[in-house]
Structure 1
């Protein structure tokens, strides 16, 4: 298993930041994501929405989940909204199993299942 992680912050439109996550969010890489988001939020007062693009997220363990929870805290404590976009089924299962699905996504697990069918 590779332990590479790339997180890229862009501002595709006014008021929105997008963080593209590629690779594995796990014990050895988990600190990267909250550090990037915290640093960039401090320099982006006009950003209202932070969108994590999870399409390239290949693996997420409990340390990765902890990183997502830290990012959620950083974003919401700054008065902004967090969105987890393009989630893969494995990430949705992890969030559902840990009881963090609704907290991190703002969606009910059942509504997501209906939307995917």
Structure 2
């Protein structure tokens, strides 16, 4: 598990599930806490494959967090993989909807649905 400078504000946990790299985010993702996410995305991106970001535990995400995910998406694609999101809710879902970012990423209702989608691959 990698966590932010202030564990109460933001956490990111990384694990492999059914051949998918799963990043589970929690707390508030903003300018001050985005470093651990950027590091986790960089580490996972070079491997290619399927990367799933579980955002169900994320209470807040600003433009810095969105930017980190967009850059991560490009890096994963360059390595021949994909970056998908799951569990967008509340203000985080609203921010993705308003910016149109929910149309840039494959978005799943939750991790279970996303991993079920992996069965057909």
Runs of 4+ in 1 over 3 A off after TM superposition: none
**Counterpart for residue 15 of structure 2:** 10
Question: Per-residue deviation at 1:105?
Answer: 2.9
Q: Report the Cα distance in structure 1 between the residues aligned to 2:68 and 2:41, rounded to whole angstroms.
A: 11
The one-character-per-residue Cα deviations of 1:28-47 (angstroms, maximum 9, x if unpaired) are 011221211212343xx4x6
Over residues 44-97 of structure 1, what are the superposed CA-to-partner deviations in whole Å (9 max), with x where a residue is unaligned? x4x621110101111101111111111211211211111101111322211121
2: CA distance, partners of 1:4 / 1:32: 12
C-alpha distance in 2, partners of 1:4/1:19? Answer: 16
Q: Which residue is equivalent to 1:97?
A: 98
1:69 aligns with 70
Structure 2 residues without counterparts, runs of 5 or longer: 1-5, 109-121
Q: In 1, are the aligned partners of 2:59 and 2:92 still within 8 Å (CA)?
A: no
TM-score in terms of structure 1 length: 0.76
Aligned residues: 102
Unaligned runs of 5+ in 1: 108-117
Shift of 1:99: 2.1
Q: TM-score, normalising length from structure 2?
A: 0.73
Q: Are 2:35 and 1:31 aligned?
A: yes
Give the alignment's Cα RMSD to 1 decimal: 2.1
